[in-house]
Amino acid sequence: MTMGRLHASVPAEGLTGEELAAVRGDFPLLSRTVREGRPLVYLDSGATSQKPRVVLDAEREFYERHNAAVHRGAHQLAEEATEAFEGARETVARFLGAQSGEIVFTKNGTEGLNLLAYAFSNAAAPGALDGAPQEWADRLRLGPGDEVVVTEMEHHANLVPWQEVCRRTGATLRWIGVTDDGYLTDPAEVIGERTKVVSVTHVSNVLGTLVDLEPVVAAARAAGALVFVDACQSAPHLDISALTAPDSGVDALVFTGHKTLGPSGIGVLWARRGLLEAMPPFLTGGSMIEIVRMEGSTWAPPPQKFEAGVPMAAQAVGLAAALDYLTELGLDRVHAHDQALMRHTLQVLAERPWVQVIGPAEPADRVGAVSFTVEGVHPHDVGQILDDSGIAVRTGHHCAWPLHRRLRLAATTRASFGVYTTPEEIDAFATALDRVPDVFGVAG
């Protein structure tokens, strides 16, 4: 099984021009204009994706026909709402090649990572691990002398929670470094016998680097450490089901709906059943309980154990529609389309010597995003020039401040793709970018 770059070579063909035109027709927002009637070129999908009509319709239909509190009430609407919600869980499980009982709905990827991180803080409370198998209980206990390993390219969502866990437990946070060209350094130099948790991104939201997970997992397994993967940037672009396979070495992953053509307010945590059964809950209250007495309570089995309160049913239904949409297109073809866009983007930027691309030079080592700088021009100014032409990009440190410090950069400009992005939009982006040297006196 391929555990690293998953699709280092892409045998599938991308979308034809006719298919891509049909896809764009599915996304109503892409037809609007901005900045005094200019066509919108949306190159900020790494921040949030646009939503196809089937997602909007699925949410609307739920509210118009089935809206009720899930897992509550004995009336027909409650039954329909529960069926729709649990059906969405089944869809997510199919997308990941997993079992529905391993799928926990969260608010977003950040909440999923916090859920994992807080399990280690909460495990220290008296009685928190009562009934958990000894093997899992030992793995969930962190203290002085233990180590948590992340990478230097993490989004803050997969860094700050682990900083906090280490602060609370006395464990030590360590990190795998990043090379100047955007790859990880040798994970075996950081992961060792004291490592209890390794939590890494699958695709960098800044560099676009598709992380080779095989050496990370190998080192973690040799240390007996748990392995968690942030798949928020990879899920919209490639088939990530290999990560949940029994022999993958990955114990949990997260992704978020709003980056995967789905609604805001919904995310997914997948984890091995044994881990979910052992983990203390993150939130407590209604729905996640088994028995409640004034003296104390017991928890429902997972996944309900981690879904306190009335769940986000309409958003789950919308996410299921988004994942079905990607599956129908074919994730291999979606990735091939991304690779074609990546090759084209790197080529047009290479033709502009005043642009410095950040991250791997090989398109096959990248997914979804290209960040760059223009010498002598602040990224925010570059973004403003592009916005004036209707080109939507992201500027700043992209919630990855330590990575920018490592690369000795204050900020970058990032263009990121969706399945609806066209080569012509990349050309429009490049043409708009050509205004930067003229406006700021950069040598072209």
Instruction: Cite the active site residues.
Output: 399
AA identity, residue 410: A
Q: Which residues of 120-151 are buried (b: 16+ CB within 10 A; e: fewer)?
A: bbbbbeeebbeebeeebeebbbbeeebbbbbb
**Total Cβ atoms within 10 A of residue 252:** 25
3-state secondary structure of 217: helix
Cα separation, 263 vs 128, in Å, equals 34
Place of tokens 């180590």: 147
The secondary structure element, H or E, covering residue 173 is: strand 172-176
Distance of CA 178 to the CA centre of its chain: 19
How much is the CA Rg of the chain, to the nearest whole Å? Answer: 22
For 89, the token pair is: 């869980």
Residues linked to residue 255 through DSSP beta bridges, in sequence order: 268
- Residue 356, C-beta contacts closer than 8 angstroms, at least 6 positions apart: 372, 373, 374, 375
Burial status of residue 75 (CB atoms within 10 A of its CB: 0-12, 13-18, 19 or more): exposed
Place of tokens 């805001």: 264
3-state secondary structure of 82: helix
Distance of CA 328 to the CA centre of its chain: 20
Cα separation, 236 vs 213, in Å, equals 18
Instruction: Tell me whether strands 252-256 and 226-230 are parallel, antiparallel or unpaired.
Output: parallel
